[in-house]
Chains A and B, each alone.
Chain A
Amino acid sequence: MKNSYLIALAGNPNCGKTTIFNAITGAHHKVGNYPGVTVEKREGQRRYKGYDLRIVDLPGTYSLTAYSPDEMAARDFLLTEKPDAVIDVMDSSNIERHLYLCMQFRELGVPVIGALNMADEAEAAGVLIDAAQLSNLMGMPFVRTVGSKGRGVENLLDATVDLLEKLQRDGPEASAAAALSHRMHYGPELEDKLHELCTLLQQDSAFVAAFPVRWLAIKLLEKDQDAYKRLKGHKDEALIVPKAIAAAQWLEKHFGRDAEIVVSEQRYAFVHGAVRETVSKKPLLVQTVTENIDKVLMNRFLGLPIFIGVMWLVFRLTFALGEAPVGWLESLFGWLGGVAGRVIPEGFFQALVVDGIIGGIGGVFSFVPLIIILFFLLSILEDTGYMARVAFITDKFLHLFGLHGQSFLPMILGFGCSVPAIMATRTLRSTRDRIVTSMIIPFMSCGAKLPVYVLLAGAFFPQNPSLAVMTIYGVGVALAFLSALLFKSTLLRGEPTPFVMELPPYRAPTWSGLFWHVGEKTLTYVKKAGTVILAASVLIWALTTFPVLPEASVPAGLPEAEVSRLALEHSIAGSLGRVIEPLVRPLGFDWRIGIAVITGFAAKEVVVSTLGVMYAAGSAEDSIALTAAMQADPLFSPLVAFSLMLFILIIPPCFAALATLKAELGWKWLGVSVGYMLTVGWLLTFAVYSLGRLAGWGI
C-alpha cells in the first residue's frame, strides 16, 4: 500500500497556485498579483490522513507547449517526474481558458483535481459554477477554494486523497478505462489522424512507458518542436515523422488554418460546451473597480507621468519614513561603541570590537529601516497588480531600446535585489531578451547599494541628500536603457519578439503576504550583516591593523590622527592599497576607497563597513562619526563622493548576483557583462571626475 505521493500544483499564471501551496504546506513562498511570480518549481511536505504528500508548486503556463524557461520547467516536471496527481488551480471567475489547460493535463494521463480558486471573486462577479455537474462532465473532482483565506484547502486535500485511494483500489486498468470514457473527442478528421499516429507510436513499448502516446500524437499534429525532439527515442522515428508532417499538412489544407490553431479550436469548442452547461453568469452592469482605476492609471497620456510619480514617491517615502529610525539605530550603535570602549580594557580586543565589529556592521545595520520600507512599498506595487500595468505603460518607450514591457518587471524587482530580478527574466520567451535584461538589471541600484549612496549623499550633499541618491538611481536607469540599446544593436541583434501578456485585476494586498515577504527580505539583510559583512569587517580590521607600526618609528609629539594614518599605511591593507592605487587615482579615489570598492564584491553594504573600519582609526564607531571623519578628510569632496557613487553603481555587482548571472546565462555572457561593467564604470567615472575638476564642480 503506497502512502507517499507526489502532487503537483499547476495551472495558468496568477491563479493562486503559490497561495494554495503556502496554505497546504505552511510555507511562505512569494505570491504576487501578476503573471510569472513563480519561475522555478518549489517543493513542500504535508502529512494528511496518514499520507505523506510531497507537494510541488510549478510556474504558471498557458498550455503545455512551452516557450519560456519557466513554462518549460513546468512542462518538463509533469512529463519526466510523472506526479501521482495534479491539482489544477483555476480562477473561477472565468474558467474557460483554465479548463482548456486542464484538458491538456488530462491528456498526459495523470489524475487531475480541479481547484476552483478565487471563489470569492467569482461570487462577487455573479459567476455561479455547478461544481457537481462540471465533475460529471469532465470526469474529475472539482473543489471550491479561496486560497488567500485558506478556505476549502482541506476539502481539496480530501478530494485528492480520495481520488488517489480510488485509483489504488481500482487498479490501473479500470482507471484507464474511466479516463478513456471522459477523453476529449477532437472531431472525425483529427481523430482519424490521431488514431493513425497512435498506432504507429504504440509499436515501441519502451516509448509507450515513457510518454503518454495520445498526448504526443496531438503535439505532433500541433507541430510542436519539442514533441518531434522527444520522438528521437522512438524506434520508428524515420517512419513517424513524415507521417505526422503529412497529417498536419492535410489538416491545414482541409481546415484552411494552421494545424495548431485547429487543435486549439477543437479544445475550446469542447470547453465552451462544458462552460455553457455548468456556469451561469448574472448579467452585471456595474462597472468594475478595476476598469475605473485603469481609466486613470493606464490612461494613454497620464499613465507614464503617473508611473514616474509613483516611483518618485516610493523613493521619497523610503527616505522620509526611514530617516528617524535610521537616526535611532545610529545613536544606538554609537552608544554601544561607547559602552564597549569603556567596558573592554584597552588593547587589540577592544579595537577589534569597537573598530572592527561595531564600526563595521553598525553602519550597515543602521540602514535596515530603509530596506524594510523600500521592500514594503515595492511589495505593495506587486501585490495590487500595478506592476503588470507598468508593462503596458512603458512598452512603447522600452520598444525604442529594443526591450519590451515584460522586461520591465524584472528591472523594477532589481531595485530590491538583483538575484531574484535576474531569475525573474525566465518569464521572457526570447533568449536574446533574457540575456539583455539580465545584463542590465545590475544597473537598477539594488537595496544593498542604497546604504552606500545614503552615507555618501548624507555626508557631501547635506542640503538635499535624497535628490543626490535619486539622481544616481536615474543615471542607473538611463544606463540600463542605453546599454540595452547597445547590446540589441550589436551582440544581440534580431527581430522584435512578440509581446502578449495578461493583465490581472487589482487586488488588495494581503497583510500576511506583505508581512512574510518584507520579513524574509529583512531577515536576509540582517543575516547578511551578521555573517558576510561581519566576517568582512573583521577581516578588513585585521588587514588594516597588522602588522602594527613599531612605536620606535613614530616621531614623538605627532598628532594622533597622523599616527593612525601612518599605522594604516604600514598595514597589509596599506601595502595592497598601494598596488591598486594607480588604477583608482584617475577617478579621484585614494587606496582606501579602492580597497572599500573591492570589498564591495562580497556585498555592496561592505563598502560602508570597510569605510567605517578604515576611518575608525580615529573613533568612528557609527555612521555619524564616519560621516564626520569623511567630511574631515581633505581627499573627499562632493565631486569625489559623486564619482564614488557612480562607480559603485556601474561596476559589477556582488558575487551572489554574478553567480546568478552565470547560472542563468553561462560563463560567456557573465564575461561579457563583467567586462562591460568594468569598462563603462571606469571610463564614465573618469569622465565625470575629470570634467567636474575642469569645470570646478564640487571640489
Chain B
Amino acid sequence: MMLAELRAYDRFKVLAIHTGRETGRRLADMGFTKDSEGRVMRCGFLRGPMHVCVGGYHLLLRHSEAAAVEVEVLEFAPHGHGLGRGGRRGLRRGFGHGALSGKPGLCHGCETDAAAACQDSDAIRTEPSAT
C-alpha cells in the first residue's frame, strides 16, 4: 500500500521509496527509511498535505510525494468515526480524503496513541479499543 492511501491515525512501516532523484532522496534524508515506523497525524482539507510522524520526526508532504512511499499498514485507525470501517474503506477510492469520510480528532483513544507513537516509534502499542 502507498502512504498516500492512508488516513489520519493509521500506523505504518516504511517498506520502500519508489522514486529516486530529488524527492526520493529528500524523503530518505528527512527520515523515511526502510523499516522506520510512523503514523499519519492528519490530512489537510480537500486532500491538502499530509502531516506524518515518522521515526519521531514530524513532516509535511503532499499526497503526490506520499504516493511514492510504499508502506505496510500496522494498524488502521479504529472505526467509530462517524462511518463504519467497511464504509470508510469503501469510500476511500471514491471520495479520497473528502470531508465526508471520517472525523479524526473525535476519538480520544487514538489521540493519545498518535502522540505516543511519535514519542517512541519502536514501541508497538496495543490496539486502542474501538468504541
A264 to B43 CA separation, bound complex (whole angstroms): 27
Q: Are A291 and B114 in contact (CB under 8 A)?
A: yes
B57 close to chain A: CB less than 8 A: yes
A528 close to chain B: CB less than 8 A: no
How many whole Å from A429's CB to the nearest CB in chain B? 7
Within 8 A of B (CB), among A245-274: 257-261, 264-265, 268
How many whole Å from A303's CB to the nearest CB in chain B? 7
Q: Please give me the residue from chain A that is nearest to B116 by CB atom.
A: A285
Q: Please give me the residue from chain B that is nearest to A95 by CB atom.
A: B56
Task: Select one of A285, A392, A502 contacting B44, CB under 8 A.
Answer: A392
Using Cβ atoms and an 8 Å threshold, which residues of chain B touch A429? 22
A200 close to chain B: CB less than 8 A: no
A347 close to chain B: CB less than 8 A: no
Q: Are A94 and B42 in contact (CB under 8 A)?
A: no
Q: Are B26 and A97 in contact (CB under 8 A)?
A: no
Using Cβ atoms and an 8 Å threshold, which residues of chain B touch A126? 119
Q: Please give me the residue from chain A that is nearest to B97 by CB atom.
A: A300
A48-56, A336-344, A493-501, A566-574 - the one binding chain B: A493-501
Q: Are B25 and A63 in contact (CB under 8 A)?
A: yes
Task: Select one of A265, A295, A301, A500 contacting B45, CB under 8 A.
Answer: A301
Q: Please give me the residue from chain B that is nearest to A301 by CB atom.
A: B45
Task: Select one of A97, A101, A287 contacting B57, CB under 8 A.
Answer: A97
Task: Select one of A304, A393, A500 contacting B23, CB under 8 A.
Answer: A500
Task: Select one of A101, A261, A287, A503 contacting B28, CB under 8 A.
Answer: A261
B131 close to chain A: CB less than 8 A: no
A351 close to chain B: CB less than 8 A: no
How many whole Å from A472's CB to the nearest CB in chain B? 28
Task: Select one of A299, A405, A499, A502 contacting B58, CB under 8 A.
Answer: A502
Q: Are B62 and A498 in contact (CB under 8 A)?
A: yes
How many whole Å from A97's CB to the nearest CB in chain B? 5
Q: Are A287 and B112 in contact (CB under 8 A)?
A: yes
B105 close to chain A: CB less than 8 A: yes
A391 close to chain B: CB less than 8 A: yes
Using Cβ atoms and an 8 Å threshold, which residues of chain A touch B44? 300, 303, 392-393, 395-396
**Counting chain A CB atoms within 10 Å of each CB, which of B42, B46, B119, B120 scores highest?**
B119
Map CB proximity to B onto A68-98 as digits: 1 under 8 Å, 0 otherwise: 0000000000000000000000000110110
A65 to B22 CA separation, bound complex (whole angstroms): 9
A283 close to chain B: CB less than 8 A: yes
A256 to B111 CA separation, bound complex (whole angstroms): 37
Using Cβ atoms and an 8 Å threshold, which residues of chain A touch B31? 96-97
A300 to B48 CA separation, bound complex (whole angstroms): 9
Using Cβ atoms and an 8 Å threshold, which residues of chain A touch B65? 498-500
A465 to B46 CA separation, bound complex (whole angstroms): 36
A281 to B117 CA separation, bound complex (whole angstroms): 12
A587 to B54 CA separation, bound complex (whole angstroms): 56
Interface residues on A, range: 35 or more
Q: Please give me the residue from chain B that is nearest to A268 by CB atom.
A: B33
Using Cβ atoms and an 8 Å threshold, which residues of chain A touch B21? 258, 260
Map CB proximity to A onto B37-51 as digits: 1 under 8 Å, 0 otherwise: 000011111111101
Q: Are A496 and B20 in contact (CB under 8 A)?
A: no
Using Cβ atoms and an 8 Å threshold, which residues of chain A touch B83? none
A684 close to chain B: CB less than 8 A: no
Task: Select one of B43, B114, B115 contacting A300, CB under 8 A.
Answer: B43
Q: Are B119 and A62 in contact (CB under 8 A)?
A: no
Task: Select one of A392, A499, A504 contacting B51, CB under 8 A.
Answer: A392
A110 close to chain B: CB less than 8 A: no
Map CB proximity to B onto A497-534 as digits: 1 under 8 Å, 0 otherwise: 01111111100000000000000000000000000000
A215 to B107 CA separation, bound complex (whole angstroms): 49
Map CB proximity to B onto A528-567 as digits: 1 under 8 Å, 0 otherwise: 0000000000000000000000000000000000000000
B129 close to chain A: CB less than 8 A: no
Q: Are A396 and B47 in contact (CB under 8 A)?
A: yes
Q: Are B16 and A500 in contact (CB under 8 A)?
A: no
How many whole Å from B17's CB to the nearest CB in chain A? 6
Using Cβ atoms and an 8 Å threshold, which residues of chain A touch B33? 264-265, 268
A353 to B34 CA separation, bound complex (whole angstroms): 72
Q: Are A499 and B26 in contact (CB under 8 A)?
A: no
Using Cβ atoms and an 8 Å threshold, which residues of chain A touch B64? 496, 498
Map CB proximity to A onto B1-37 as digits: 1 under 8 Å, 0 otherwise: 0000000000000001101111111111111011010
Given A62-B30, A96-B55, A284-B116: A396 in contact with B46 (beta carbons within 8 A): yes
Q: Are B120 and A295 in contact (CB under 8 A)?
A: no
Task: Select one of B25, B47, B49, B55 contacting A392, CB under 8 A.
Answer: B49
A250 to B118 CA separation, bound complex (whole angstroms): 37
Given A258-B20, A295-B105, A405-B49: A498 in contact with B26 (beta carbons within 8 A): yes
Within 8 A of B (CB), among A390-424: 391-393, 395-396, 404-405
A621 close to chain B: CB less than 8 A: no
A627 to B51 CA separation, bound complex (whole angstroms): 50
Using Cβ atoms and an 8 Å threshold, which residues of chain A touch B74? none
Within 8 A of A (CB), among B88-124: 99, 105, 111-112, 114-116, 118-120, 122-123
How many whole Å from B80's CB to the nearest CB in chain A? 18
A383 close to chain B: CB less than 8 A: no
Q: Please give me the residue from chain A that is nearest to B51 by CB atom.
A: A392
A396 to B64 CA separation, bound complex (whole angstroms): 12
A260 to B21 CA separation, bound complex (whole angstroms): 8
How many whole Å from B118's CB to the nearest CB in chain A? 8
B73 close to chain A: CB less than 8 A: no
Using Cβ atoms and an 8 Å threshold, which residues of chain A touch B115? 286-288, 291
B61 close to chain A: CB less than 8 A: yes
**Counting chain B CB atoms within 10 Å of each CB, which of A258, A259, A268, A300 scores highest?**
A300
**Counting chain B CB atoms within 10 Å of each CB, which of A258, A304, A501 scores highest?**
A258
Given A268-B33, A391-B60, A392-B51: A284 in contact with B119 (beta carbons within 8 A): yes
A127 to B57 CA separation, bound complex (whole angstroms): 14
Q: Are A264 and B25 in contact (CB under 8 A)?
A: yes
A405 to B49 CA separation, bound complex (whole angstroms): 9
Q: Are A298 and B49 in contact (CB under 8 A)?
A: no
Q: Are B29 and A501 in contact (CB under 8 A)?
A: no
How many whole Å from A464's CB to the nearest CB in chain B? 32
Using Cβ atoms and an 8 Å threshold, which residues of chain B touch A295? 105, 111
Given A258-B20, A396-B47, A396-B49: A499 in contact with B59 (beta carbons within 8 A): no
Task: Select one of A260, A281, A285, A502 contacting B30, CB under 8 A.
Answer: A502
Using Cβ atoms and an 8 Å threshold, which residues of chain A touch B30? 62, 97, 500, 502
Q: Are A97 and B51 in contact (CB under 8 A)?
A: no
Residue numbers of B with Cβ under 8 A of A are 16-17, 19-31, 33-34, 36, 41-49, 51, 55-62, 64-65, 99, 105, 111-112, 114-116, 118-120, 122-123
- 24 inter-chain pairs at a CB distance below 8 angstroms, sorted by A residue, are A62-B29, A97-B57, A100-B29, A222-B25, A264-B29, A285-B112, A291-B118, A294-B41, A294-B51, A295-B111, A298-B42, A300-B43, A301-B45, A301-B99, A303-B44, A392-B44, A393-B44, A395-B60, A405-B49, A405-B60, A498-B61, A499-B62, A500-B59, A503-B60
What 7 A-B pairs are tightest by C-beta distance, nearest first?
A: A258-B20, A396-B48, A503-B58, A264-B28, A62-B29, A63-B29, A287-B115
> Beyond the given A498-B64, A501-B59, could you list 4 further A-B residue pairs with CB under 8 A, ordered by the A residue number?
A65-B25, A299-B105, A300-B43, A405-B49
